[in-house]
Structure 1
Amino acid sequence: MQTQTEQQAEKNWLAELDVEARALVAAVDAQPDGRRLLDGTLDVKGYIHYLVQTYHYARWSTPILAEGGYRLRRLGRHPELAELLVQKGEEERGHDKWLLSDLKNLGVPAELVEAAERSPAVEAYTGWNFFTSLSGVPTAVLGTAYALEYLSQTRAGVWAERLKAAALIPNIHKSVTFLRSHGALDGDHVAEMQRILSKLTDPEDQEAILFSARVARSVFPRIFREGGVSRPPPAR
C-alpha cells in the first residue's frame, strides 16, 4: 500500500508532465502559423509546409515507439509499458499515408514530399527519439508521445474544423484527414497513458519521460515556417 508521501510524489511528477504538455500547446499557439491554424486563416503554403514536415517525423513514429517497447522487453523492465509502446507503434502505422493523401489533394505529389528538405526541428525530433528508444532510457519516448497526443486532443480537431470553416485553402475539405483523425483518436490515448503512467514509480524513468516532454515542447513548435514564412534554401 502506498504511503502518503509516495502518493504525493506520483501526483507531482504527473502534474509536471501535464504542465509540459500544456506548455507545448501554448508554444504552438504562439507560433505565427500556429495562430493561423487556430483561427483557420493559415495560407496554403503554410499548411503544405506543416503537413510535409509532419510527414517527415510521423513516418518514423512506428519504429521509434516499437523499438522502445522491444528494448524494454529485452531488458525485462516494465512489461505493461513495453506493451503500451508496441501498441502505440501499431496505432501510428499508416498515419503518414493520411498525410500523403492530404498533400495529394493539395496538389503535392508523394515524390515531392519525399524529396522535401526536413527542417532542423524534424531532424532534432526524430534524432532524439531514436536515441532514447535505441540507446537511452526507452521509456523516455512516452514523454514525447504524451505531449503530442495532448496537443492533438486539444488542437487537431479544432484546426481541421476552423480550416474547413474559413475555406481559404482550395480543396481543404479533402485535406484534413490527418488532423481530423488525430483529434478524434488521441483523447482516449491521453487518458490511457495517464492510467498506465500513474503506476510508474522509478525516478529515472519519471525524469526521462519528463525530459523528453520538455524536448518535444522546445523542438516541435519549430516545425512551422520560421516567422510564418518559408526559409530560403541553404547555400550550396
Structure 2
Amino acid sequence: MSFFEHLQQATADERAALFGVPVIRDALGGAVSLEGYVAFLTQAYHHVRHTVPLMMACGAKLPTRLEWLRGAVCEYIDEEYGHEQWILNDIAACGGDPDQVRNSRPALPIELMVAFLYDLIARDNPVGLFGMVNVLEGTSIALATQAAGTIQKSLGLPANAFSYLSSHGALDQDHMATYRGLMDRLEDARDQEAVVHSAKVVYRLYADMFRGLPRAEASRSEVNHALV
C-alpha cells in the first residue's frame, strides 16, 4: 500500500465525520442559504489567507534531505498566492462587506486550526502541513464538483460569486494528483506520521467550523417535520 493510500485509509473515520455534518450534506444537495454561503466564504478567507505564509514557513523549516519537497512547496506558493482576494471578491458579489470580513476574527475552530499548523511547523515536523492539504483540497473538490453549480442556481447568484469555489474544483484536482505523487515519495515514518496526525486534527477542526455555519431554512424545516 502506498503512503497516499494509507493516509486515506487512516483518516477515513475523520473524513466520514466531516462529510456527515448536516450543513455539508445540505450543500452537496444544493440546499444552502445566502447567509450560510457567505459565512462559509468568511471562514475560508480566514484560513486561505494563511496558506502562503504557512507554506513559506514550512519550506524554510524543511531539512536538506527533503529538498525535492521544498521545490514543490515553492510551486504551490506561486499557484496559491492571492486566492484570499478571490474570496473577498466573491463575498462582494454576494452583497457582503469584504472589509468587514477582512477585519473580523475567525470562528474558534479556524483560529485553532491555523494556530495548530503554525505550531506544528515551528515545534514539531513541518512535513505535517501536508495533512492540511489533504483535507482542504479534498473537501473543496467535493464541494466544487458536486455543489457549486446547484448552489449558484438555487441562490440566483452570478458566476463571479463562485470564483474561489469553482476554480478550486479543477485546480485542486490537479493539485491532488501532484500531491499523491509527493506523498508517495515520503519514506521517513516520522514524516508520514506527522501528515496523518495533522490530517486527523484538521478534519476535526474543519468539521467543527462547518457545524457552526447556519443551515438553509428549507433544511431546518425538513428536519423539524421529520421530528414531529
TM over 0.5: yes
Q: Using the alignment, how far apart are the partners of 2:167 and 2:9 within structure 1?
A: 25
Aligned to 1:70: 60
Question: 8 Å contact 1:46–1:225 — kept in the other structure?
Answer: no
Aligned to 1:17: 7
Q: Using the alignment, how far apart are the partners of 2:113 and 2:5 within structure 1?
A: 23
Report deviation, 1:154. 2.9
Aligned to 1:4: none
| AA at the equivalent of 1:65 | M
Please list, as runs of the form range in 1=range in 2, the aligned pairs for 1:21-40 lying within 5 A after superposition.
Answer: 23=13, 25-40=15-30
Aligned to 2:38: 48
Q: Using the alignment, how far apart are the partners of 2:213 and 2:143 within structure 1?
A: 20
Matched, 1:195 2:175: no
Q: Say how many residue pairs are matched.
A: 216
Aligned to 2:51: 61
Identity across the alignment (%): 27
Q: 1:162 aligns with which of 146, 150, 155?
A: 150
Report deviation, 1:217. 1.2
Task: Mark the CA change 1:161 to 1:23 in structure 2 (over 3 Å): closer, same or farther.
Answer: farther
Please list, as runs of the form range in 1=range in 2, the aligned pairs for 1:62-101 lying within 5 A after superposition.
Answer: 62-72=52-62, 75-101=63-89
TM-score calculated relative to the size of structure 1: 0.84
Q: Using the alignment, how far apart are the partners of 1:162 and 1:27 within structure 2?
A: 23
Deviates more, 1:147-156 or 1:89-98: 147-156
Task: Mark the CA change 1:163 to 1:24 in structure 2 (over 3 Å): closer, same or farther.
Answer: farther
Structure 2 unaligned spans of 5+: 216-228
Matched, 1:105 2:125: no
Report deviation, 1:47. 0.7
Question: 8 Å contact 1:143–1:209 — kept in the other structure?
Answer: yes
Q: Deviations over 1:9-67 (max 9, x none)?
A: xx2x4323113565555333322221221111100111111000110000010010121
| AA at the equivalent of 2:52 | T
Q: Using the alignment, how far apart are the partners of 2:141 and 2:56 within structure 1?
A: 22
Aligned to 1:178: 164
Task: Mark the CA change 1:155 to 1:66 in structure 2 (over 3 Å): closer, same or farther.
Answer: same
Structure 1 unaligned spans of 5+: 1-7, 230-236
Q: Deviations over 1:148-194 (max 9, x none)?
A: 22222333232211212xx3324253311111010011111111111
Question: 8 Å contact 1:160–1:180 — kept in the other structure?
Answer: yes
Q: Deviations over 1:85-126 (max 9, x none)?
A: 222222211110110010001111221112333111111110
Q: Using the alignment, how far apart are the partners of 1:50 and 1:21 within structure 2?
A: 23
TM-score calculated relative to the size of structure 2: 0.86
Q: Using the alignment, how far apart are the partners of 2:148 and 2:91 within structure 1?
A: 14
Deviates more, 1:81-90 or 1:124-133: 81-90
